Homo-oligomer: A and B are copies of this chain.
Amino acid sequence: MKRTLGTCYYPEHWPEEIWEADARRMADAGLTWVRIGEFAWSRLEPTQGNLQFDWLDRAIEVLGKAGLKVVLGTPTATPPHWMVEKHPDMLAVDVNGHPRKFGSRRHYCFSHEGFQLESDRIVQLLAERYGDSPYIAAWQTDNEYGCHDTVLSYSNAAKKAFGLWLARRYGSIEALNRAWGNVFWSMEYASFDSIDLPNLTVTEPNPSHSLAFRRFSSDQVVAFNKRQVDIIRRYSGAPISHNFMGRITEFDHFKVSDDLDIATWDSYPLGFLEDRVGATSEHQRLYARQGDPDFQAFHHDLYRAAGNGRWWVMEQQPGPVNWAPYNPAPLSGMMRLWAWEAYAHGAEAVCYFRWRQAPFAQEQMHAGMLRPDNADAPALIEARQVRDELHDAPDVETSPAPVALIFDYDADFAWATQPHGAGLSYFQLVFEAYKALRSLGLSVDILRGETRDFSGYQIVAAPGLIYMSQDLKKALAESNAEVVLGPRTAARNADMVIPVPLPPDMPGLEVTVARVESMRPDMPMPLKGGGNLVSYREELEGAAGTFLELEDGQIAAMRQDNLTYVGGWCDGLAWKRVFKMLCDEAGIETFDLSGGVRCRDAGNIRIWTNYGASPSDTPAGRIDAAGVLFERL
Contacts and interface: CB of A to CB of B under 8 A. Distances in A.
Interface of A: 10, 12-13, 39-43, 46-47, 75, 78-82, 85, 92, 94, 96-107, 147-148, 150, 180-190, 194, 196, 198-209, 274, 281, 284-285, 288, 319-320, 322-323, 325-329, 357-365, 367, 371-375, 377-378, 418, 420-422, 497-502, 514-520, 522-523, 535, 539
Contacts of A360: 180-181, 184, 208, 497-498
A80 B186 contact: yes
Nearest to A285: B523
A79 B188 CA distance: 10
B103 A205 contact: yes
The winner among A39, A104, A196, A274 for most chain B CB atoms within 10 A is A104
The 9 A-B residue pairs with the shortest CB-CB distance, nearest first, are A181-B360, A184-B361, A42-B186, A359-B498, A78-B186, A103-B201, A325-B422, A181-B361, A329-B517
16 contacts: A96-B98, A101-B196, A101-B201, A103-B201, A104-B205, A107-B201, A148-B202, A180-B361, A184-B362, A207-B362, A208-B360, A288-B519, A320-B517, A328-B519, A364-B498, A371-B502
A198 B103 contact: yes
Nearest to A143: B185
B515 A329 contact: yes
Contact of A196 (B103, B184, B358, B502): B103
B499 A359 contact: yes
A329 B539 contact: yes
A40 B322 contact: no
Count identical subunits in the complex: 3
B186 A39 contact: yes
A172 to B, nearest CB: 15
Contacts of A99: 200
Contacts of A46: 188, 190
A204 B107 CA distance: 12
A363 B274 CA distance: 35
Contact of A365 (B79, B188, B322, B420): B420
Nearest to A281: B522
B199 A101 contact: yes
A42 B103 contact: no
Contacts of A320: 515-518
Given A519-B288, A520-B284, A520-B326, A103 B361 contact: no
A294 B102 CA distance: 43
Contacts of A103: 187, 196, 198, 201-202, 205-206, 209
A47 B418 CA distance: 31
B361 A204 contact: no
Given A103-B198, A107-B202, A497-B359, A518 B187 contact: no
Contacts of A539: 329
B185 A515 contact: no
Given A200-B101, A202-B100, A522-B285, A40 B371 contact: no
A279 to B, nearest CB: 12
B361 A207 contact: yes
B373 A497 contact: no
Nearest to A148: B203
A47 B205 contact: no
Contact of A328 (B148, B183, B323, B518): B518
Nearest to A40: B186
A364 B40 contact: no
Given A209-B103, A422-B326, A202 B522 contact: no
A319 B515 contact: yes
Contact of A185 (B47, B78, B183, B323): B78
Contacts of A198: 103
Nearest to A535: B326
A286 to B, nearest CB: 10
A573 B359 CA distance: 34
A186 B75 CA distance: 9
A399 B593 CA distance: 66
A98 B97 contact: yes
B358 A184 contact: yes
Contacts of A209: 103
A367 to B, nearest CB: 7
B43 A186 contact: yes
A371 B517 contact: no
Contacts of A329: 515, 517, 539
